[in-house]
Amino acid sequence: SLFRLKDLELAKLGDSDVHVKMLAAPINPADINMIQGTYPILSPLPAVGGNEGVGEVLEVGRCVAALKPGDRVIPASTGLGTWRTHGVFPEETLLKVPGDIPVLSAATLSVNPCTAYRMLTDFQNLAPGDSVIQNAANSGVGQAVIQIAKAFGIKTINVVRDRPDLPKLVERLVALGADHVITEEMLRKPEMKDLFKSIPKPRLALNCVGGKSTTEMLRHLQPKGTMVTYGGMAKQPVMVPVSAFIFRDVRLHGFWMTQWRKDHAQDQESLAGMMDALCQLIQRGQLTAPACTEVPLQDYKAALEASMKPFTSSKQILLL
């Protein structure tokens, strides 16, 4: 294993620094990819893993104005290294979140819900009654898409892989607000026509798989519809029929939350607007944390292994 648990000396608190006691941090696929070196961001080694989490401010440097002891904070950008009990971070690397949102919601806020929110708002002007189709609908992003779309009055068609406990998964996604849950096989069946009697064809498709799944989703997009790719779990390319490009003028985009944060580093308003909107959804009970398994930090090996198993529908959260 590339990992070990280590006691480190805490850095001295500088004038613009914040001493944070970490409370909880999830294990996300991108964290694993970063460790494997297959992600576009490489941390200089030795490094602390984890890009997401929530902590409580214990102490602030004398020039820190926006944060005070007792505040809850989450990372403002990728690469903070959240799998630790304590850290001293520059003020600008942290975002304050309301103290009354659940710890697990705050711990899982900065990656998946933000990705879902941006993809639902930045690529198509969706109105209540419109529909969205997505694959890997049971992923962290998928669960956030279902709930945020529901709050916006947008219908969701959710594609999942067939699995032994399919009825249980369908039930869970419907409870989150999914309008339709179908398997990849169903995407290719003529019955899809019946589905579109009660729901308009989607103007937006969200793709985190690649390969066949993607090509099948594209088939159901409206003319001038957009497909946004934010992951490639099948490790296969996105294939687009020429006719879809020419005769239906579908648009293809990519999305990477890390890049969005870089592009909007000077634009505090759009970041604050998104965080406010998401925190309000959480406070109203319209956006919940994904299904989580809480693991104490010393059991990190078991948590890492569990996070890499296929068909996992529970996110491993390190309790710090």
Query: What is the set of active-site residues?
Result: 39
Measured from the Cβ of residue 2, the count of other Cβ atoms closer than 10 Å reads 9
Sign (positive/negative) of CA torsion 261, 267, 272, 273? Answer: negative
The two tokens of residue 33 are: 């990819």
Residue with tokens 């899982």: 108
Helix axes 166-176, 140-152, angle to 10 degrees: 40
Going by DSSP bridges, is the β-strand pair 17-26/54-60 parallel, antiparallel, or unpaired? antiparallel
Phi, psi of 86 (to 5 degrees): -140, 155
Contact yes or no for 136/231 (Cβ under 8 A) = yes
Helix H or strand E segment including 31: helix 29-36
39 burial class (0-12, 13-18, 19+ CB within 10 angstroms)? middle
Q: Are 155 and 220 in contact (CB under 8 A)?
A: no
- 8-state DSSP, 116: H
> What gap in Å lies between CA 265 and CA 235, rounded to an integer?
31
Structure tokens, 6: 């280590």
The sign of the torsion formed by the CA atoms of 208, 211, 214, 218 equals: positive
